Amino acid sequence: MTSDPVDPLRPANAEDVIDRLVEWLSIPSISAEPAHRTEVADSAVWLRQRCLDAGFTSAEIWETDGHPAVFARWDGAGDEAPTVLVYGHHDVQPVDPLEAWAHPPFEPVIVDGECRARGAIDDKGQVLYHVEAVAATLAESRMLPVNLKLLVEGEEEIGSPHFEQLLVDHAAALDCDVIVVSDTGMISPDIPSTDVAMRGLVAATIELTTSSTDLHSGSFGGTVPNAARHLSRLLANLHDDQLRVAVDGFYDDVVPLDDGEQRSLDEQPFDETEFCAITGVAGLEGELGRSPLERIGSRPTAEIVGMSGGYVGEGIKTIVPSRATAKIAFRLVPDQDPTEVMRLVDAWVTKTVPPLVDVSITWHGGVAPVRSSTRGWAFEAVSATIASIWGAHPLLTRVGGSGPEETIARRLGAPMVFLGVGLPGDRIHAPNERMVMDQFWRGFHAARKLYGELADRWASR
Amino acid sequence: MTSDPVDPLRPANAEDVIDRLVEWLSIPSISAEPAHRTEVADSAVWLRQRCLDAGFTSAEIWETDGHPAVFARWDGAGDEAPTVLVYGHHDVQPVDPLEAWAHPPFEPVIVDGECRARGAIDDKGQVLYHVEAVAATLAESRMLPVNLKLLVEGEEEIGSPHFEQLLVDHAAALDCDVIVVSDTGMISPDIPSTDVAMRGLVAATIELTTSSTDLHSGSFGGTVPNAARHLSRLLANLHDDQLRVAVDGFYDDVVPLDDGEQRSLDEQPFDETEFCAITGVAGLEGELGRSPLERIGSRPTAEIVGMSGGYVGEGIKTIVPSRATAKIAFRLVPDQDPTEVMRLVDAWVTKTVPPLVDVSITWHGGVAPVRSSTRGWAFEAVSATIASIWGAHPLLTRVGGSGPEETIARRLGAPMVFLGVGLPGDRIHAPNERMVMDQFWRGFHAARKLYGELADRWASR
């Protein structure tokens, strides 16, 4: 453990905080896998108890038709103070391929100033620095400058299927003046940034069936349809020669960047060599005529997430596969509508696959893209906070990832700001996910600072 | 069990024969799966013992660097009689998807006049009718009309990687005047046929790698290469718009059918509706301008046997996959050369995949295509035998499947004939493989008849 007692970022109780972080990250709260249902619930119970111990006025488990959320609140700042709702999630991604992990994903270690575990940065680590910021502030002064609500859901990694219902059911409890999202990142500790938009997400499982049974490739090969070949052709046609998504009408509702955002995008540094080193790729590719940062944040995409069909064991099996399956994730940008995109993709698949192939499409979740304002008291508070902690005013970025932020903003009707400490090399959703501990401690200080900045700017708005 | 004591096809000891068939089929001799290595050996031991019990002069296990073969001989017919070598194999295909089997694949059942088990028709059942034919003839007369050698290998389903070495090592023991192959089928019991060519086979596992790790589709999607997308494009390009194999030079060595064979092909009945019912497909597709039977027997093909990449579990995982793998089986026709085809495919893959994708190709086995003569004493013997047992002279067919027959014919330098009782609906290599028992009993009688026909025509050749 790189314990440095003179590190000014580390609070006095840093070791206790780390113990709690390790304890929570040890719970495999994988929302996508039914086998881990109990652990997602255990994770919620852990967080509720930690919130109570931290000094929140109350903390509850909110059950859903899927995995539970946690809601905690501290109400002592009075009616004049703003009510701040912090959003995060306690569920995590699956961990396969397990053999690619240097350490077991649910046995967290602190190595080289990094916490290595599934969920370290996405998103338990980012939730915990808020909880510990509340705990520290209350321990010092018995008071927070704002009324604080913490909403931590358990289904973010599966597209938040029950989250909107949760927001509807608990609308009164969730009433707030500003939403702080802590589930994102920044360009680097030296070039801090904050987000002003997130991509939406819809994902499909597409299964093609050409026969009731696999067929012998000697006896039938060459004259019966091959499900794997048809899937390959469908997937190969998903992008055109310009690497644009070939689904008819896919770009119809995409709003171009305005001049201000385009300028901010152009100012962002991008080191292709470093980017390739971080991602482990030999080179970049994507929609022609767009820069890499533009492609990630402000352009919609379709990525094949996985595919399978036929025999993939050892050696060879001489069959014509009768079934083949692919999963495709579509990232959406303002003002694409998830429901409309699903309709367009359904129509495109139906049009593209020939009649002798049976098609089944299953949709997973549906998250709309979201934009937040770059002006006003809330944005100024987060901008000043980041400037104070990281030493520079943040650049404006768009998040390539997706979450239920659009739903929160729409349902709660409050401005939304982003405080996120993730870094490009954190390997979220991949083996060896990490959180850089210096960023964790900066997040802790930034959270404490932000509550004060929000209170001040609310008062003088 | 559909036991009908007055069925003229069933010999008096039919129940004993069936018991032996069931016993042998119960041994899961899957050569492709290392976990079943012991059972492949057990299968060889079983067959050796059965040959000794049947009255063969000797029976031996022949070890190889892979799975063992069985060699049995009966030498009592004298120098004037021909020596007949019967070829078959005792290894079987893998059984997945296991859940698609109505009965467990290695718990054989006799239902509705069919034996249902992995290996029932491919190829244990076809080996056993020869062994039982020898046993019955020897029991009746203490004599066979020919000197008989039985060679049953254990690696046919994995491309016979050690078979040629076996033929070289045991060349003296394998000396023969004619080769009888019993690992194929016929059009139907009413329209018997015999084979005059078999396709060759080479198969490749192709792995594409775009990064050292899977990447988050939100953070990186749209700007990094996706291994699944590149694999899809490669596989989609494997065939051109005419559904011809797009590998450069692939058809250069294909010899067109001569007029005689083309006429025989044109005479063969083909019921597309029945073919679709048997294969469970909604329609046929394949190389344009060629009939279905032509595509299966006399045209080379490339079939995607399987593919995998990325996340294919429940729900969705928002990654850009870093690896994707496909298996492709190429069926070859005279005079395509397996080594040359491997070279052509290697060159085509290298040319087709862009430089930022890492490619690895592993080749599995390599079986050349083979043609046999449609004239001469041996062909006339098998033709007369089939006419006697099935009531009509056989049409000439080409086998879509592949085996080591080219190697046997080339190494042993003897004419080769095909006696095969398989039917189009036998589901070889697929779940619920079966053998129609009437065809088994006809095979038993045909084997006995064939030995006599070969002896007679050898004498008067």
pLDDT in tens, B65-106: 999 999 999 999 999 999 999 999 999 999 988 999 999 999
Shared domain for A79 and A190, answered yes or no, is yes
Shared domain for A357 and A376, answered yes or no, is no
CATH number of the structural domain spanning residue B454: 3.40.630.10
Shared domain for B65 and B214, answered yes or no, is no
Residue B4 lies in a domain: no
CB proximity A210 to B under 8 Å? yes
CB contact under 8 A, A236 and B236: yes
Which chain A residue lies closest to B100 (C-alpha atoms)? Answer: A213
Residue A267 banded pLDDT, cuts 50, 70, 90: confident
Q: Please list, in sequence order, all residues whose beta carbon lies within 8 angstroms of the beta carbon of residue B292, skipping any fewer than 6 positions away.
A: A223, B270, B272, B275, B284, B286
Shared domain for A45 and A137, answered yes or no, is yes
> Mean pLDDT, to the nearest integer, of B375-391?
95
Q: How many domains does chain B have?
A: 2
Which residues, numbered 132 to 191 in chain A, qualify as contacts with chain B under a Cβ-Cβ cut-off of 8 Å?
158-159
Q: Comparing B198 with B344, which gets the higher pLDDT?
A: B344
Of A284, A312, A329, the CB nearest to B223: A284
The whole-chain average pLDDT of chain A stands at 94
Structure token pair of residue A83: 């009510």
CB A386 within 8 A of CB A379: no
Q: Comparing B377 with A371, which gets the higher pLDDT?
A: B377
- Asked if the model's pLDDT at residue A424 lies above 90, the reply is no
d(CA A431, CA A454): 37
Query: At which of A323, A350, A367 does a domain end?
Result: A367
Shared domain for B100 and B193, answered yes or no, is yes
CB contact under 8 A, B222 and A401: no
CATH number of the structural domain spanning residue B349: 3.30.70.360
Question: Tell me: the pLDDT tens digits for A38-70?
Answer: 999 999 999 999 999 999 999 999 999 999 999
Residue A188 lies in a domain: yes
**Which range (A366-380, A423-437, B74-88) has the least confidence?**
A366-380
Shared domain for B51 and B104, answered yes or no, is yes
Question: Tell me: the pLDDT tens digits for B24-57?
Answer: 999 999 999 999 999 999 999 999 999 999 999 9
Shared domain for A47 and A178, answered yes or no, is yes
A171: Cα within 13 Å, side-chain hemisphere: 10
Residue B140 lies in a domain: yes
- Asked if the model's pLDDT at residue B1 lies above 50, the reply is no
Shared domain for B409 and B336, answered yes or no, is no
> Mean pLDDT, to the nearest integer, of A373-397?
93
The whole-chain average pLDDT of chain B stands at 94
CB proximity A427 to B under 8 Å? yes
Break chain B down into helix, strand, coil percent, rounded to 5: 35, 25, 45
Which chain B residue lies closest to A218 (C-alpha atoms)? Answer: B401
Helices (H) and strands (E) in chain B, counts: 12, 18
pLDDT at A6: 59
Give which of A155, A161, A92, A64 is closest to A365, Cα–Cα.
Answer: A161
- The partner residues of B150 in beta bridges, in order of sequence, read B72, B86
Helix (H, G, I), strand (E, B) or coil at B177: coil
For tokens 């003088």, name the residue.
Answer: A460
Shared domain for A87 and A188, answered yes or no, is yes
> How near does any CA of chain B get to the CA of A355, in Å?
8
CB contact under 8 A, A310 and B327: yes
Give the other-Cβ count within 10 Å of B64's Cβ.
17
- The partner residues of A371 in beta bridges, in order of sequence, read A197
> Mean pLDDT, to the nearest integer, of B234-260?
95
Question: What CA–CA distances, in Å, run from B69 to A378, B381, B401?
Answer: 79, 27, 21
Query: At which of B367, B382, B417 does a domain end?
Result: B367
Angle at A131 (CA atoms; ends A126, A135), nearest 5 degrees: 145
Helices (H), B196-322: 227-236, 259-267, 272-279, 292-297
Residue A317 banded pLDDT, cuts 50, 70, 90: confident
Question: Tell me: the pLDDT tens digits for A216-240?
Answer: 888 888 999 999 999 999 999 999 9
Predicted ipTM of the assembly: 0.77
pLDDT at B374: 82
d(CA B454, CA B336): 32
CB proximity A240 to B under 8 Å? no
CB proximity A428 to B under 8 Å? yes
Pairs of residues, one from chain A and one from chain B, whose beta carbons lie less than 8 Å apart: 371
Residue B247 lies in a domain: yes
Q: Which domain holds residue A33?
A: 14-198+369-459
Give the other-Cβ count within 10 Å of A63's Cβ.
14
**Which range (A9-23, A202-216, A252-266, B206-220) has the least confidence?**
A252-266
Helices (H), A186-282: 227-236, 259-267, 272-279
- Asked if the model's pLDDT at residue B235 lies above 90, the reply is yes
For tokens 């533009």, name the residue.
Answer: A294
Residue A238 lies in a domain: yes
Give the other-Cβ count within 10 Å of A207's Cβ.
17
- Asked if the model's pLDDT at residue A302 lies above 90, the reply is yes
Residue B261 lies in a domain: no
Q: Peptide bond preceding B65: is omega within 30 degrees of 0, i.e. cis? A: no
CB contact under 8 A, A305 and B310: yes
- Check residue A2 and report its DSSP letter: -
CB proximity B283 to A under 8 Å? yes
Which residues, numbered 78 to 117 in chain A, qualify as contacts with chain B under a Cβ-Cβ cut-off of 8 Å?
93-94, 96-97, 100
The enclosing H or E element of A7 equals: none
pLDDT at A375: 83
Quote the strand ranges of A333-457, DSSP E: 358-367, 370-371, 395-399, 416-418, 434-436
> How near does any CA of chain B get to the CA of A136, in Å?
32
Shared domain for A53 and A130, answered yes or no, is yes
CB contact under 8 A, B228 and A307: yes
Query: At which of B367, B397, B416 does a domain end?
Result: B367
pLDDT at A1: 46
Residue A126 lies in a domain: yes
A79 φ, ψ (degrees, to nearest 5): -70, -25
Shared domain for A178 and A37, answered yes or no, is yes
Question: Tell me: the pLDDT tens digits for A104-135?
Answer: 999 999 999 999 999 999 999 999 999 999 99
- Asked if the model's pLDDT at residue A313 lies above 70, the reply is yes
> How near does any CA of chain B get to the CA of A378, in Å?
25
pLDDT at B6: 59
User: Any idea how long chain A is?
Assistant: 461
CB proximity A384 to B under 8 Å? no
Chain B positions in Cβ-Cβ contact with residue A320 (cut-off 8 Å): 303, 305
Shared domain for B71 and B155, answered yes or no, is yes
Strands B395-399 and B193-198, by their bridges, are parallel
Residue A235 lies in a domain: yes
pLDDT at B373: 82
pLDDT at B66: 96
